[in-house]
Structure 1
Amino acid sequence: MSITHTVKCFQHQNEYCLYDAKQIDDFSPNMLSALYWQKNKAVTGSAQGRGTTWFVKYTPKHNKQTQHWVLRHYYRGGLIGKLINDSYIFTGQTRTRAAQEFSLLAHMQALALPAPKPIAYRVVRSGLIYQADLLSTRIENAQDLVAILTTKSISPHLWQKIGATIKRFHHHNIYHHDLNAHNILIDEAENVFLIDFDRGEIRANNQSGWQKDNLDRLQRSFLKEQKQLLNFHWTHENWQLLLETYLSHAP
């Protein structure tokens, strides 16, 4: 069943939420706040980026099967992020960062691409300004590629799988705005996933060079980590193997 058939809306005053009723049977907008999970002792971990990403657990009232989710608040990057932090200009509900990422994640689920499932999002307006939060599924038993490469090298076959996975997304015209080594996850079975699709979008194949831009950004992230980390098991040969597989792979 497509996620679009199970999505419901919650709206109250300046707060607008969309959620997957198949995943949540007792939705509350408070679920888009870290404080809710802290009060319920349901925080299982966190990670630091522009802000804190929270890992939480949720047990539905009816089927009792615990789910593991990621809660992320939207923060601006770069110099403007130091000034405005987490506020955005409101130009329409469907054009908010949270709505667009939720929609893109749902689209990728319909294509069976290895990315998180969308659970819910919230947009809180204050005049012409909004703030937003997103809940998505957590990739179980997985680490980001940088964390792995700081401890060990990975096999040539796994580099090939990474290249083939990126090609699958590009084959379906999925543009990842921030494709870097931290946003590639590998689980215990060596399945490859892409995460964090903020500002991602569907782009036409004839749009100028965006696939190459994605790959160039990824290569720069490897080079950056190599300079900053004492032990980082990445070589130019690894990159060539990834790239050759990407170029030759036909999804």
Structure 2
Amino acid sequence: MNKPAIVKPCNEKTFQQGNVYCRYDSDDVSVFAPEMLNGDYWQAKNAIVGSAQGRGTTWFIATENAAGILQNWVLRHYYRGGLIGKVVNDHYIYTGIEKTRSAREFDLLKTMRALDLPAPKPIAFRVSKHGLFYRADLLSSRIQNATDLVGILSKQEIDEQLWQKIGQVIKTFHQQGIYHHDLNAHNILIDDKDKVWLIDFDQGEQRNNQIKWPEKNMARLLRSFRKESHKITDFQWREKNWQALLNGYQS
């Protein structure tokens, strides 16, 4: 595989106050406040332009920078899944800033952008410590004029060429050792120019080997297509589409 990327330097700055630690890209955020990692902050500014529901609410934000340029961002709070999530909800054991969920995803997004991979740009993250635990938030760029693959297939088919392109894009991530912990049909976006993007890299990482995990990544994606096809009436996916995707991945 290719060697791990050397991340290009950016104008990254740190904010720390009490039990709150943040990092942000000052090219995108000229005046930073930790409250920018709260949904309430943007609601008060009437900057919320949409939302999506998963384990929690993901907020879509439209705001102007100091130069009057419109910025479109996504704000996500980290929630636990599974049975443990019903007990501790959004608290994680703290073992150092660099091991927190938000710091790891921020750094991975930074690495992928340096590799010119089609993934969101990291804007800022926050970690709030509470004794032995922490809570986390991430602000990243929003992919413009894009729809997730489940949303598209709920309404229409896509052609074989686009299925192949999806496979080719996933391959480019795997060739760079990018492991996506939750590769599923919701985390694949297609924009209005048919460009394919991957999002939501929580618990992802760049790995030095490609033994077994790419195969497991692809098996997880196949399970997600089959799951959605049973959940959604007239979901426009067939097994032959998976073969087209594989043809692109293997090309």
| TM-score (norm: length of structure 1) | 0.96
Match of 1:121 in 2: 125
What residue number does 1:95 align with? Answer: 99
Counterparts in 2 of 1:1-251, with a 5 A limit?
4-61=9-66, 63-206=67-210, 208-248=211-251
Query: Distance in 1 between the 2:128 and 2:205 partners?
Result: 23
What is the CA-CA distance between 1:245 and the residue it aligns to? 1.5
Give the aligned CA root-mean-square deviation in angstroms.
0.9
Where 1:36 maps in the other structure, the secondary structure is helix
> How many residues are paired up?
245
Distance 1:147 1:183 in 2: 11
Cα distance in 2, alignment partners of residues 31 and 65 from structure 1? 18
SS at 1:119 equivalent:
strand
Question: Shift of the alpha carbon at 1:96?
Answer: 0.2
Distance 1:209 1:60 in 2: 44
Report the identity percentage.
Answer: 56
Runs of 4+ deviating beyond 6 Å:
none
TM-superposed CA distance for 1:3, in Å, is: 6.1
The CA deviation at 1:79 is: 0.9
Distance (whole Å) between structure 1 residues aligned to residue 70 and residue 87 of structure 2: 39
Unaligned runs of 5+ in 2: 1-6
Deviation at 1:60, TM superposition (A): 1.0
Cα distance in 1 for partners of 2:244, 2:113 equals 28
The 8 Å contact of residues 3 and 20 in structure 1, kept in 2 or not, is answered as: no
Q: Is the 8 A contact 1:175 1:200 kept in 2?
A: yes
Could you say which structure has the greater relative contact order, defined with CA pairs below 8 angstroms and 6 or more residues apart? 2
Distance 1:176 1:57 in 2: 27
Deviation at 1:244, TM superposition (A): 1.8
- Could you report, residue by residue, the CA deviation over 1:198-225 in whole angstroms, capped at 9, with x for unpaired residues? 000011224x300000000000000000
Q: Give the partner amino acid of 1:226.
A: S
- Give 2:206's aligned amino acid: I
Deviations along 1:55-74, one digit per CA (max 9) or x if unpaired, are 0012112x110100000000
> What residue ranges of structure 1 are gaps of 5+ in the alignment?
none
SS at match of 1:114: coil
